Amino acid sequence: MKVEELNVEEVMGSVGSILSGQDKKRGVLIHAFQKIQEEYSYLPGDVLKELAKKLSLPLAEIYSVASFYKQFHFSPRGRKVVRVCTGTACHVRGAAKVLSALEKEFSIKDGETTADLAMTLETVGCVGCCGLAPVATVNEDVVGDIGKKKLHDLINSIKEE
Ligand code: FES
């Protein structure tokens, strides 16, 4: 979404009539962040500057609100976002090995993205599939029971991307 396409009045109208104009603008921010991130996979600085201008809010406030939510990112994301679960069950069943194999294979650390934007590697707490530990998610998909073969397949599927 281009910032100029953001219909501030329409979104503000759905935020509620009790809020003041400034609070409504802040309410618009989350919606705008989601749309921008859908488009770019992260929140580019120049787009946030445009948004600050459009909403007449200080840029620092825009960053402050965005950084409060873990779902928003300030640097480009990989086409595949791999999250290795490090919850207790996965930890006990070898999550550290899965994480370290991925870090080694792609030469990145937890929280980083490969230079070719093929993959972002992250860790996450329990994803609710403890019976399948160790578990990782790849975008929206869950990969469970990660042994050598599945790890190998996962690595290849990212490389083939
Ligand atoms: S601890 Fe990993 S899915 Fe629950």
Residue of 72, 81, 84 lying closest to 48 (CA atoms): 72
Alpha carbon 90 to its chain centroid, in Å, reads 21
Last residue of a domain, one of 40, 68, 96: 68
pLDDT tens-digit readout, 32-86: 999 999 999 899 999 999 999 988 899 999 999 999 998 999 999 999 999 999 9
Q: Are 51 and 101 in a shared domain? A: no
Mean pLDDT value of segment 97-106: 97
Same domain, 62 and 87: no
Q: For residue 28, is it within any domain?
A: yes
Closest ligand 1 atom number to CA of residue 132:
3
Q: Which long-range contacts (CB under 8 A, 24 or more apart) does 139-148 make?
A: 139/80, 139/81, 146/94, 146/98
Closest residue by Cα to residue 74 from 49, 43, 101, 46: 43
Ligand 1 centroid from CA 155, angstroms: 21
Q: Identify the CA nearest to 35 among candidates 6, 12, 74.
A: 6
Structure tokens at 147: 């042994």
Domain boundary among 68, 93, 119: 68
pLDDT at 26 over 60: yes
CA 56 – ligand 1 centroid, Å: 43
Say what the pTM is: 0.77
DSSP 113: B
- Look at ligand 1, atom 1, and give the residue with the nearest C-alpha: 87
CA distance 93 to 91: 5
Q: Which atom of ligand 1 is nearest to the CA of 133?
A: 2
Segments forming the whole domain that contains residue 112: 80-160
pLDDT at 46: 95
- Is the C-beta atom of 129 inside 6 A of ligand 1? yes
Query: Quick check: is 74 in a domain?
Result: no
**Domain co-membership, 131 together with 62:** no
Lowest mean pLDDT among 26-30, 119-123, 134-138: 26-30
**Total domains present in the chain:** 2
User: Quick check: 18 pLDDT over 80?
Assistant: no
Whether 92 and 156 share a structural domain: yes
Cβ of 89 closer than 6 Å to ligand 1, yes or no, is: yes
Please report, rounded to a whole number, the percentage of residues in the chain having pLDDT higher than 90. Answer: 74
Give the C-alpha separation, 158 to 160, whole Å. 5
C-alpha distance from residue 117 to each of 50, 79, 101 (Å): 25, 6, 18
